[in-house]
């Protein structure tokens, strides 16, 4: 994550220039596109199948519920503008955010049924992208594909450890399934779609100019949600470790992300069993550290391939755009060519199949009237 966190920091100055106070105008079109992609729908089916295998009843029910469009966003229930400002001020006071005119909007992107007892997602889980526009899996349905890979990656890591170091089981399969699903879940809130096929920008917080632990908002908002739903502390800590394993001097980052999420969830992280007090109120430690924390961190490392893959795929799409009647940089290029091509083919597959293979697949998509 450290290698690409700078992408978000550079983005903040421009990404919030557009109006992000209203639900994304392109959300419905993105949902329709993702619904027709076999790649996206198979990834979603894999996630649902794995989630259904979670043994803990409360965790299984909460996780399956969270993947539905009608799920109630627990950490947003009943929050009006005044309450949001109180939370934002608390984050600033704790050195977990910088004073900014975009802070409230960045922490509380628009959702449906705002301020009600049951606010709901602004778009279906399976239409959300996997990251900011131009980043990894940045197309309708990219989130499902990203999460399915990470979920399987975590389970595979556990199997490898047991194969090398002796038969287990040593790891909680429940945590290895649920942590990657919940970690990126809030991207359906953060990364909404604009009418021109681009995305909302994302704020980074969980640190400040004084404290070097900022991270993209989706990570903290997902934690706030699992906290508010009362899920187990072992899951919370493993989930919080996605962007940095709490080892080798990075525990303070995980602690700060949990502190920030607890402020949003309006609860005490010590009383909840996530943290323990240190020498001072700001010197907290994790209440426990399990191997699942590090495995979840490893499973979120797909960006090593997926970020350069999308850059290479973008270059191929621009190279071939003229044959299909599109010009890069235009709204119709994003909505009718780039996003459909990536949703159906994925950037990783495009890189693996090579230029001629991509061109053949694009021609098939044109014949099917997808692009």
97-106, 108-117, 171-180, 214-223: range with lowest mean pLDDT: 97-106
pLDDT of residue 240: 98
| Average pLDDT value for the chain | 93
Nearest Cα to Cα of residue 141 among 277, 44, 17, 261: 44
Whole-angstrom Cα distance, residue 228 to residue 62? 11
CA gap 345, 148 in Å, rounded? 16
Q: Under 8 Å CB-to-CB from 312, ≥6 apart: which residues?
A: 347, 350, 351
How many Cα atoms occupy the beta-carbon half-sphere of 329 within 13 Å?
1
Residue-wise pLDDT for 33-75, tens only, equals 999 999 999 999 999 999 999 999 999 999 999 999 999 999 9
- Residues linked to residue 215 through DSSP beta bridges, in sequence order: 205
Residue 163: other Cβ atoms inside 10 A: 10
Rounded Cα distance between 147 and 129, Å, is 11
pLDDT of residue 281: 54
Cβ atoms within 10 Å of 65's Cβ, excluding its own: 13
pLDDT at 181 over 80: yes
Coil, strand or helix at 267: coil
- The candidate with the shortest Cα–Cα distance to 40, out of 192, 136, 131, 148, is 148
Distance CA 302, CA 297 (A): 10
Q: By three-state DSSP, how is residue 168 classified?
A: coil
Q: What is the pLDDT of residues 200-251, one digit of tens each?
A: 999 999 999 999 999 999 999 999 999 999 999 999 999 999 999 999 999 9
In which band, very low, low, confident or very high, does the pLDDT at 101 lie, cut at 50, 70 and 90? low
Kindly give, in sequence order, each residue whose CB lies less than 8 Å from that of residue 315, ignoring residues fewer than 6 positions away: none
The pLDDT of residue 314: 97
Those residues whose C-beta lies under 8 Å from the C-beta of residue 266, and which sit 6 or more positions away, are: 87, 228
Confidence of residue 280 (pLDDT cuts 50, 70, 90): low
**What is the rounded distance in angstroms from the CA atom of residue 108 to the CA atom of residue 271?**
25
This prediction's pTM: 0.93
């Amino acid at each position: 994550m450290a290698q690409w966190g700078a992408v978000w920091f550079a983005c903040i100055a421009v990404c919030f220039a557009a109006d992000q106070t209203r639900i994304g105008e392109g959300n419905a079109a993105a949902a329709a596109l993702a619904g027709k992609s076999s790649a996206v729908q198979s990834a979603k089916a894999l996630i649902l199948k794995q989630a259904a295998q979670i043994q803990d009843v409360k965790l299984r029910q909460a996780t399956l519920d969270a993947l539905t469009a009608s799920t109630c966003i627990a950490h947003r229930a009943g929050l009006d503008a005044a309450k949001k400002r109180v939370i934002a001020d608390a984050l600033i006071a704790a050195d977990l955010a910088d004073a900014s005119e975009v802070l409230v909007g960045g922490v509380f992107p628009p959702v449906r049924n705002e301020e009600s007892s049951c606010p709901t997602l602004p778009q279906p889980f399976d239409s959300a992208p996997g990251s900011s526009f131009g980043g990894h899996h940045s197309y309708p349905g990219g989130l499902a594909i990203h999460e399915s890979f990470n979920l399987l990656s975590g389970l595979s890591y556990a199997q490898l450890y047991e194969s090398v170091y002796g038969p287990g089981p040593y790891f909680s399969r429940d945590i290895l399934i649920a942590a990657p699903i919940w970690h990126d879940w809030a991207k359906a809130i953060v990364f909404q779609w604009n009418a021109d096929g681009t995305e909302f920008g994302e704020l980074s917080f969980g640190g400040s100019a004084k404290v070097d632990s900022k991270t993209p908002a989706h990570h903290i908002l997902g934690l706030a949600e699992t906290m508010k739903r009362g899920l187990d502390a072992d899951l919370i800590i493993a989930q919080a470790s996605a962007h940095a394993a709490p080892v080798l001097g990075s525990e303070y980052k995980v602690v700060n992300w949990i502190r920030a999420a607890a402020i949003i969830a309006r609860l005490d992280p010590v009383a909840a069993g996530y943290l323990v007090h240190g020498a001072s109120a700001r010197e907290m430690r994790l209440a426990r550290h399990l191997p699942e924390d590090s495995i979840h961190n490893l499973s979120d490392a797909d960006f090593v391939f997926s970020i350069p893959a999308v850059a290479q795929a973008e270059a191929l799409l621009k190279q071939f755009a003229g044959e299909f009647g599109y010009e890069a940089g235009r709204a119709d290029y994003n909505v009718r060519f780039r996003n459909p091509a990536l949703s159906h083919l994925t950037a990783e597959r495009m890189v693996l199949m090579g230029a001629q293979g991509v061109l053949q697949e694009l021609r098939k998509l044109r014949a099917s009237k997808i692009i």
